[in-house]
Copies of this chain bind each other. A is one copy, B any other.
Amino acid sequence: MNPESMDNVFQALASSVRRQILDIVQSRPGCNVSYVCRYFDVSRIAVMKHLNVLENAGLLITEKQGRTRCLYFNAAPIQTIYERWTTEYSSLWAGRLTEFKRQLEEPRKVNRD
């Protein structure tokens, strides 16, 4: 997973509305756009933009059936990030804030992600 798509996933999750949308779709796999819209006070276009952000991040899968767009939640990106971060920050996720002082003698450009 490249840093760009990691950005997309975190960015997508950084909105309460979008996290709610994930909840809704998860509880109703295959539901359509109008169904999701009923839960919110904002316009359908605004909801569609949120859906597109989520789809772009890979958190939603779309399947067009006739005139309706069926929505499915995809947990894979979250799992990937979780696995990645548990490896890199394993001690931290485990709950211990270890003061692991790696000897970094001279600053250099970091190339993470």
Residues of A within 8 A of B (CB): 3-4, 6-7, 10-11, 13-16, 19-20, 23-24, 26-29, 35, 38-39, 73-75, 78-79, 82, 85, 88-89, 92-93, 95, 97, 99-102, 104, 107-110, 112-113
Task: Tell me which residues across on chain B come within 8 A of A4, comparing CB atoms.
Answer: 16
Q: Quick check: A102 and B14 within 8 Å, CB to CB?
A: no
> From residue A110, how far is it (CB to closest CB) to chain B in Å?
5
Query: Once the chains bind, are A14 and B15 in contact (CB under 8 Å)?
Result: no
Residues of B within 8 A of A20 (CB): 110, 112-113
Measured CA separation A38–B20 after assembly (Å): 40
If A14-B11, A16-B6, A29-B99 touch, whether A92 touches B112 (CB-CB below 8 Å) is no
